[in-house]
Amino acid sequence: MTAALIIGAGDATGGAIARAFAAEGYTACVNRRPRNADKLEALAASIRDSGHEAKAFPADARDEDAMITLVETVEREAGMIDVAVFNIGANVRFSVTDTSAQVYRKVWEMAAFAGFLMGREVAKRMVERQRGTIIFTGATASLRGGDSFSAFSGAKAALRMLAQSMARELGPQGIHVAHVVIDGGIDTEFVRGLRPDFEEAKAHDLVLSPDAIAAQYVMLHKQHRSAWTHELDLRPWGEKF
């Protein structure tokens, strides 16, 4: 058995990524914090109801011991991790003068440090096997800082540099490391609440479809190693950049 581990398998993009890899024959191993265990199990159950394999593994991705245990448990109970996706968002907006040390640290822990923990633990297994794919979800903030996004931009930029470093180290060992810049609003309840024109924008494909994003993650995993992509940017056709 082979597994696809998705850290940050929420209701939109993370869930779509899990479903996409499950449809490819992997056991989708979905993760969120323990307080979201019910939602996580519901996602896993919906994947199983569609005829595919899925298991829920609630754990705090910011906790080193929890992540070590998580990867060990997945490999023991679900199979070899062939692909791992880090998809935690942590998007917050505060004026820099209103950003507390606690907020800045928490955003960094969620969007950067947790990515390091996942990447390190799955890399240990993949190096032994000389194969595997690790994908990190980035954002517009990975490339440039925005007004009132000091915490989020700092964390996402750190995650991008982690991905680059890992790609250079692990690529020659047969491990494909990719970073995906999501440059635009995604079809989620959060974005729906921010945009009065959401329904019209969605009707004209001006918001990112989680399923379309997930299809690109599967494509990255399937790439022939003679032509690997390290960084991929995804945005709606009408998005300014």
Whose tokens are 């998809």? That residue is: 87
Instruction: Enumerate the domain spans of the chain.
Output: 2-234
**Between residues 189 and 105, the one the model is more confident about:** 105
Q: Residue 198: its pLDDT value, please? A: 93
2-234 is classed in which CATH architecture? 3-Layer(aba) Sandwich (3.40)
Residue 28 has pLDDT above 90, yes or no: yes
Per-residue CA distances from 78 to 57, 70, 92, 239 (Å): 11, 11, 34, 39
The whole-angstrom separation of Cα 34 and Cα 37 is: 5
Over residues 114-123, mean pLDDT: 98
Burial of 172 (0-12, 13-18, 19+ CB in 10 A): exposed
Q: How confident is the model at residue 193 (pLDDT cuts 50, 70, 90)?
A: confident
Residue 190 has pLDDT above 90, yes or no: no
Q: Residue 189: its pLDDT value, please? A: 86
The whole-angstrom separation of Cα 137 and Cα 148 is: 21
pTM of the model: 0.97
Q: How confident is the model at residue 39 (pLDDT cuts 50, 70, 90)?
A: very high
